Structure 1
Amino acid sequence: MDGKWIALKYFYEDNPMEIVSPMTMNNDTALHVVASNRYSDLLKHLILLIKDNAPEMLRRALKIENNDGNTPLHEAAASGNLDAAKLLVDEDKILSGQSSFSSLVEIRNQLGESPLYRATAFGHTNLVKYLASQVKPQQQDIEQQQLELAIEYHFNRNHDNISILQIAVISQHFETALWLLKKYPDLANRKESNGLTSLQLLAQMPSAFEPKFRQSKWKKLIYKYSGLFDDDNCDSERRSNQSPNQNDDLESGSNQPPNQNDEDLDRRSNQPRQSSSSKKITKLLLGWRPTSKMFEEMQNQKLLSKLTDLLVKEYSWAGEYSDSPNIRNTFCLLCSNKQVEEDSDCGCHDGGETSKSIYKYTPLLTATCTGILQIVEKIINFNPQAIEARDIETRENILHVAIKHRQLAIFKFVRKEKTITSRLAYGIDSDGNSILHHAADMKFYTVDAQHVSGPAFQLQEELFWMARVEKIMPRHYAMHQNNQGVTAKELFESKHSSLLASAKGWIKETAQSCSTVAALVATVAYAAAFTVPGGNDKRGVPVLGHSPFFITFAISDTISLICSLTSLGTFLSILTSPFEYENFHCSLPFRLHLGFALLFFSLVATMFTFTATLVLLIHHQKMWTTSLIYVVALLPVSVFGLSQFPLYDGFRKSLKYISKKIMKPTISLIRDVFVNLKLFIESILNLKFCIRRLPG
């Protein structure tokens, strides 16, 4: 549609019988199109045209389906058009002679979705509340038990049995999911066709727990220190900015959902109100798009935390073991499996959690696989015994799963409980693998490109991981063989042989390239030392030696020469190394980091030397000329530094690791020396005192 709604209105005024005729390739009628585009007034006008010209067609017009089986109410539910939904439901009530309920809300589309289910899938909470209040009971006398039986019809869709709560969780509409779970707690224990509960599905969604605002430090500072993003104040601002059809009070009057209480209203009324100036600042910040996006993500995280708490408390995680294979299926979140196979370009695949591997594990172990520490903490805090649970098929505990999936945060969390960790470390899975075997296996290893910048550092990370696990594993398990008769060390060497070969080639090429650059820098620095800017006088004294920039030239050139030669020696030592596994644990990566750092410092010093030389030669020029020279001279260093920043971060980590290994024993040794020296001095003084007390 081109948005020519007035022309559309005039067309149907002249041709009212065409309102029920298809107007799109999907066989959408005018009611479908208008209901999905939030033009409630035009929808009302079209319905009046049908009433005036062909009232017998109105029932058919309201229930006519497009190619997807969607009625106009389905389209209104998907778009969140509350006014259109009310209008369609009210007209159906009049036609059917019902005063409270509409049969229109009971119609399912080809995916087996009712309008209530479809509104949930798109996260329109207000519309979900309204449609839930319009569900038809089995009998005319409305009782709570009958109403619950009636709404059961809307809790699942047909083809995959995904519940209405699960579709809200999968679509990451946590406000809607939280309302549904509070309203209908039994939804927490419903399973879809693969036997997974809502918490198990949530545990497969790590991206939901890592909002984008956490990647920006300034956004976190705004949120933390502004004190303006109060939930209630921001909720009120958000409600005031909503359109009128989204601002209706669904919790009162004829639209009141069943069992709605006023707990939230009482809580809000008892809280202090925000000052007018704070409200203005809050409104200003919310009007700024980056801040508004940040607030939405933070609100979503708070809702997600509350939802996780409720799901954990509903026991949906306890004792849920599946006999299915490790990865059974892949499914599209909003479409059927069949539709995904036929049309890979379905709209659900544009982004987000579009497809997921279905794990056989409990929510605790699934969250451990995906690294969702929040779920792991909540489950263990709610039931501490869960930390010792094992998978019924593989006999793996939380430590096995965390280690083989390289989930360091969860590994550290489990290690806090030393007594439990020691028991878990003794665990052997059904294949005879110890925790060290899982650390040695690369089956679930994935490269973190943001923190690891080359094969050598990948191998170093793997060696660090083995070292972490060895610290908590019983010593005699080092020689333990699994069911294939392989020890952990043998498994590590066989699985990492290709990575070792890649690391060898990569670090050799890098060291060779950098040693060439270091040699060139050393040559330039050495030549500059004997080419004094301004020349020498008859006595051999530099003509410009009195200038402070000459001292800068001399110092920076010396630093450049020393750093470049040291860097060259470091890279040459790498080329002569044996390249065994133990060399990649600390020695080779640290040398490479050190070589890069020294090379960078030599380049910086060379640029300072160059800048100081230019200033000495053209110091009489205008200020803007010298400033431009400074910028141009330092530009190459800045580009090189930014491009190699991950390596410097790795150097910092390696330096920290080495200092930790060296400084702790050194400090302990110095402390012992001082203590022994103190005791020795005290003993000498005591001996001297005793000698003085002797008679004669």
Structure 2
Amino acid sequence: MALSKDENLRINKLLYNALMNQDDAEVIHICRGIPKGPLHTLTIHEDTVLHMAIYQKKPELALKLLEMVPSSDTHKLTWQNGGGNTILHETGTNKRTVVVAKEILRRARMLLGMVNKEGETALFYAARHGKTNIYMFLHDEVGRTISGLDLKTFLRRDDRFTILHIAILSRNYRVAYDIASNHKELINEKDANDMTPLQLLSTIKPQFSPKTSFKRMMFKLVDANVDDQESKFSFIRGLKKEKHSCEWAMKLATLLIKSDNSWEDTESWTDNRGSKFHEYRTTTLSAEENMITATTQEADDFNKAQTPLLLATINDSTVIVREILRLYPQAVEHVDKHGHNILHLAIMHRRYSIIDVVEEMKYPLDRLRGRLDKNYNTLLHMVGCKVDELKEDVKHPAQQLKEDQRLFKRVEKICTTLDTVTRNADQKTPSEVFFEANDEIRSQAKEWMSENAKNCSIVAVLIATVAFTSAYTVPGGPDKNGHPVLRDRSMFLLFTFADAISLSTALTSVIIFMNIVTSPFTFDDFASSLYEKQLAALILLIISVTMMMVAFAATLVLTITSEATWSNMTLYSVSFFPVIVFVYSYVPEYSTIAKDMFRVLKKMMGKIHNMIWDNKPQSTRVIDGSLNSLSHSPV
């Protein structure tokens, strides 16, 4: 007997609330009292009670509901909701439903090949949700049932997306690696946007290693078994999951890269001849020729996706770039439709780590450094052709301009002398392109540094005034001879040093800030030492404030201290607490400065090592190499 509309609404409300409240007994009780039982459509999207129970990770309830479906109604298990998903599709949304999927297939095996409205089988659906356990189970079931050309339904969707594409997009690299290993024909398949799996992997920038040294150390202490749930600490479980993802991402990337040779299909770098080295032109293009050029350029813009090497460069996936160049070093010469090679793109997108990778390859660097793109831009032009991107670490204008100037000098050392005066299609030299591109940033940097220097100068003067006054009003006051009463106390020595340092650093920072304010703020000023002056003045100001706090704490301890040890400890803690908070607040700034210095020092030491090695006699190199090989050979 069919339910009335009002009765149906009432039943749906009760069932929905029971499912949301985890009341399995109530769900079973209600299902026993309605005609369709567990196959009753519950939601406005035509999900049955079984659909909902499976989706909500309730395998025990799902099995009990399946038992309520008589064998004569097995064909009713093929019901599809509004999106075309069967109950077998729903098992692909979580990893606890393998036992439910096994029971469903025992009763209705035809569900294995049914597709939803997007053309996805249950196997494809499990890969889309990135659930390893249920994917592996369904894949084994498909392998036992289907073979040959019939597998196409299970591996491809209606919109040309393959199961490998979708697994990569779901960030389940374990599943993606299994798919690529078992179905190698999918490795070079392209989706509707002509993207191969490796191209997709290059754009999503997977994490191949931990970002911090602490996590790298912790990775060595945990295994990558994500199925082990014995650990009670969520932090440990998270580490295992992250390590598992990193390891399988690396395995997947290596597998895909070995099968990729798209870089062989390259544009010609000799098509861009005819660049100018001075501003005088003998001929100009006619309007018709300009129109033809513009139309051709517009047609070129509507093109296929770039190769994985260049996509990885654009998306700052250094590991993929390094791995591609390790397996195919000749791929470094690939050129895209605009005539850009890997260095053009790395400079334009500010991928410093990738520039480092190419610089390590000395011979390819010699071949790439003089190349022009199709607008006759050299590598040095690219510094001024920066691509605007949304980034987490937003830098202030002065720092941004300084980094661009450092990059300009770095690329200038790579390029040939001729490249520094070469004019592009707009008849501009690299310097002109750089100045035009950064003129607005220079104005912003000037305003920012001026205001910052003025404000900090006021703070520094106030600190210097306090420190100067404190020097004449020492703690405890003077004796009859004018000497400080507490001069023999150890804390008095600390007060004296702290006050003197605070006064001297404050005054020094004022001098530097005044020098910044009176600067003309030209590009040369920013390139030379303007940014470094501001950084030095800020560091001196921070030291001054810190020392003023230390002097205050020492004064407090000298004047209020008592004999009781516990009260002394409390007083010390209260007095020095502002110092600790202040220093901790600026730890990120210090760490950034330290990292930059370490990176520069490391690069400098590497160059010194190479210079020493290059200057060694050949015989000495052979002996050193022999000794090195002997030291690493097994005994």
Fold in common (TM above 0.5): yes
- The 5 A counterparts of 1:221-240 are 221-224=217-220, 226=221, 229-230=222-223, 234=225, 238=227
Distance 1:652 1:375 in 2: 28
Distance 1:134 1:549 in 2: 78
* Residue 493 (1) aligns with residue 435 (2): yes
Distance 2:26 2:498 in 1: 76
Match of 2:216 in 1: 220
Match of 2:150 in 1: 150
Cα pair distance change 1:631/1:583, threshold 3 Å? farther
**What amino acid maps onto 1:9 in structure 2?**
I
Q: CA deviation at 1:630?
A: 3.2
* Residue 58 (1) aligns with residue 2 (2): no
Q: CA deviation at 1:468?
A: 1.1
Match of 2:319 among 343, 368, 374: 374
Q: CA deviation at 1:18?
A: 4.3
Distance 1:186 1:299 in 2: 26
Distance 1:519 1:16 in 2: 85
Match of 1:396 in 2: 340
- Which consecutive unaligned segments of at least 5 residues does structure 1 have? 93-101, 242-282, 329-357, 665-696
Cα pair distance change 1:660/1:300, threshold 3 Å? closer
Cα pair distance change 1:613/1:42, threshold 3 Å? closer
Q: CA deviation at 1:614?
A: 2.4
Distance 2:100 2:45 in 1: 20
Distance 1:176 1:483 in 2: 48
Q: CA deviation at 1:314?
A: 1.6
Distance 2:301 2:320 in 1: 21
Cα pair distance change 1:550/1:43, threshold 3 Å? closer
Match of 2:288 in 1: none
Q: CA deviation at 1:290?
A: 0.5
Cα pair distance change 1:446/1:435, threshold 3 Å? farther
Task: Report Cα offsets for 1:526-559 as digits up to 9, x if no partner.
Answer: 1111113222233222222232333222222222
Match of 2:49 among 3, 24, 30: 30
Q: CA deviation at 1:326?
A: 9.1
Distance 1:372 1:554 in 2: 53
Cα pair distance change 1:660/1:521, threshold 3 Å? farther
Match of 2:555 in 1: 613
Q: Is the 8 A contact 2:165 2:197 kept in 1?
A: yes
Match of 2:479 among 503, 522, 537: 537
Give TM-score scaled by structure 2 length.
Answer: 0.81
Distance 1:656 1:103 in 2: 63
Distance 1:661 1:19 in 2: 68
**What amino acid maps onto 1:79 in structure 2?**
N
Distance 2:339 2:82 in 1: 48
Moved more, 301-310 or 6-15: 6-15
Match of 1:108 in 2: 115
Match of 2:134 in 1: 127
Distance 2:265 2:408 in 1: 31
Task: Report Cα offsets for 1:190-226 as digits up to 9, x if no partner.
Answer: 11001110000000012x2266x534x43332333x3
Distance 2:424 2:195 in 1: 31
Moved more, 539-548 or 650-659: 650-659
* Count of paired positions: 557
Moved more, 12-21 or 146-155: 12-21
SS of equivalent to 2:157? coil
Q: CA deviation at 1:308?
A: 0.9
Q: CA deviation at 1:613?
A: 2.2
Distance 1:379 1:535 in 2: 73
**What amino acid maps onto 1:69 in structure 2?**
G
Distance 1:48 1:658 in 2: 69
Match of 1:295 in 2: 240
CA RMSD across the alignment: 3.0
SS of equivalent to 1:203? helix
SS of equivalent to 2:147? helix
Distance 1:627 1:617 in 2: 15
Q: Is the 8 A contact 2:557 2:575 kept in 1?
A: no
**What amino acid maps onto 1:548 in structure 2?**
S
- The 5 A counterparts of 1:588-667 are 588-620=530-562, 622-649=564-591, 652=594
Moved more, 73-82 or 288-297: 73-82
Q: Is the 8 A contact 1:442 1:496 kept in 2?
A: no
Distance 2:107 2:359 in 1: 62
Match of 2:29 in 1: 10
- Which consecutive unaligned segments of at least 5 residues does structure 2 have? 1-18, 268-296, 607-635
* Residue 416 (1) aligns with residue 345 (2): no
Match of 1:311 in 2: 256
Q: Is the 8 A contact 1:76 1:84 kept in 2?
A: yes
Q: CA deviation at 1:651?
A: 5.2
- The 5 A counterparts of 1:393-542 are 393-444=337-388, 449=393, 453-542=395-484
Match of 1:185 in 2: 184
Q: CA deviation at 1:230?
A: 4.7
SS of equivalent to 2:398? helix
Q: Percent identity?
A: 31
**What amino acid maps onto 2:214 in structure 1?**
W
Q: Is the 8 A contact 1:525 1:558 kept in 2?
A: yes
Q: Is the 8 A contact 1:596 1:647 kept in 2?
A: no
Q: CA deviation at 1:360?
A: 2.3
Q: CA deviation at 1:521?
A: 1.0
Give TM-score scaled by structure 1 length.
Answer: 0.74
Distance 1:321 1:130 in 2: 42
Match of 1:84 among 76, 79, 100: 100
Distance 1:110 1:413 in 2: 46
* Residue 73 (1) aligns with residue 85 (2): no
* Residue 574 (1) aligns with residue 516 (2): yes
Match of 1:247 in 2: none
**What amino acid maps onto 2:233 in structure 1?**
W
Cα pair distance change 1:44/1:570, threshold 3 Å? closer
**What amino acid maps onto 2:383 in structure 1?**
A
Q: Is the 8 A contact 1:594 1:651 kept in 2?
A: no
**What amino acid maps onto 2:217 in structure 1?**
L
Q: CA deviation at 1:124?
A: 2.6
Q: Is the 8 A contact 1:560 1:603 kept in 2?
A: yes
SS of equivalent to 1:423? helix
Q: Is the 8 A contact 2:370 2:415 kept in 1?
A: yes
Distance 1:359 1:642 in 2: 50
Q: CA deviation at 1:594?
A: 1.1
Distance 2:26 2:602 in 1: 76
Q: Is the 8 A contact 1:203 1:370 kept in 2?
A: yes
**What amino acid maps onto 1:181 in structure 2?**
A
Cα pair distance change 1:104/1:628, threshold 3 Å? same
Moved more, 398-407 or 35-44: 35-44
Q: Is the 8 A contact 1:427 1:434 kept in 2?
A: yes
Task: Report Cα offsets for 1:552-588 as digits up to 9, x if no partner.
Answer: 2222222221111111111111111111112112411
Task: Report Cα offsets for 1:354-377 as digits up to 9, x if no partner.
Answer: xxxx98210000001111111112
Distance 1:179 1:394 in 2: 36
Match of 1:387 among 332, 346, 349: 332
Q: Is the 8 A contact 2:264 2:334 kept in 1?
A: no
Match of 2:507 in 1: 565
Q: Is the 8 A contact 2:223 2:240 kept in 1?
A: no
